[in-house]
Amino acid sequence: MSFLTCYVSVRHFRSTCSLYKEVLRTLKGRKTSSQEWLKRQFSDPYIEKAKLANYRCRSAFKLLEIDDKYKILKPGDIILDCGASPGSWSQIAVSRTNADKKDIKKKSGIVIGIDLKPVYPVDGAIFLNNCDFTEQSTKEKIIKILQEKIKSEDEQHVDVVLSDMAPNATGIKEMDHTNIIKLGYDVVRFGLTVSAVNGILLVKIWEGSQSKKIFDDISRFYNDTRYVKPQASRSDSAEIFILATGFKGIKR
């Protein structure tokens, strides 16, 4: 081992020990739930990987894993990212659809992100900040952007609808499940109006009594529907994704 490698390793070890001591100090006097959250953050390898890869949060690896396996994002695709904050899924979508036009040999895509919170700009993405996806005015803004970008009055151009949205948790399991299912249905309904034939839907839900119903309802409109739980999803989390491919199209 070279002197430089040894030096870096020692510095990393000291930095890790220092951080661990800081975490232990921070835990004192906190509620059990807060202590568990801090311990989980410290031990989560995806948080460190996200920092190293310059992703805005660990959730980037969920979409990366799903796309690596199912190939849902392609250069030139039009992507709708619902619940985009802090922007990590949009980062992945921009990169894999070439929305930032970095590769001049490939088609360039379009990425539109929506969130209640402001999202710091991502080169190649269009964000609707401080917008409630469930409101009709927000949906009209999305349609207007699509029409301006595609130069067409037809709304059905979106290749992939992504939703990592989740409501604020109440701590009441069934209520939280019901709330995220409602959000999921809102995404599905809008997706039916803007998706291109053979389009893709990826929507997050929390497992519960209504999971099968929304799964079955989605299946009516797509050729293939499945549950997906990437390794980057925490094992103790109830979150699961419904991936639907091959949108059949609808007559209006």
* pLDDT of the residue at 28: 56
* pLDDT of the residue at 15: 44
The most confident of the ranges 44-53, 68-77, 168-177 is: 68-77
pLDDT tier at 194, thresholds 50, 70, 90: very high
Quick: pLDDT tens for 44-67.
Answer: 676 787 787 788 888 899 999 999
What distance in Å separates the CA atoms of residue 230 and residue 67, rounded to the nearest whole number? 10
> Do the Cβ atoms of 113 and 84 come closer than 8 Å?
yes
Tell me how many degrees the CA angle 222-228-229 measures, rounded to the nearest 5. 160
What distance in Å separates the CA atoms of residue 45 and residue 23, rounded to the nearest whole number? 16
What is the DSSP pairing of strand 158-163 with strand 195-206?
parallel
Amino acid identity, position 98: N
* pLDDT of the residue at 49: 77
pLDDT at 128 over 80: yes
**3-class secondary-structure state, position 170:** coil
Task: Express as a percent the part of the chain with pLDDT over 70.
Answer: 81
Peptide bond into 167 cis (omega under 30): no
What distance in Å separates the CA atoms of residue 50 and residue 54, rounded to the nearest whole number? 6
Of 3.30.470.20, 3.20.20.70, 3.40.50.300, 3.40.50.150, the CATH number of 55-247 is 3.40.50.150
> Do the Cβ atoms of 90 and 116 come closer than 8 Å?
no
Q: How many other CB atoms sit within 10 Å of the CB of residue 74?
A: 16
What is the DSSP secondary-structure string of 38-65?
Answer: HHHHHH-HHHHHHHHTT-SSTTHHHHHH
pLDDT tier at 118, thresholds 50, 70, 90: very high
Q: How many other CB atoms sit within 10 Å of the CB of residue 124?
A: 20
pLDDT at 34 over 60: no
Quick: pLDDT tens for 201-233.
Answer: 999 999 999 999 999 999 999 999 999 999 988
Catalytic, 204? Answer: yes
pLDDT tier at 29, thresholds 50, 70, 90: low
- In the set 105, 149, 151, 204, the catalytic residue is 204
- Token readout for 87 is 């922007």
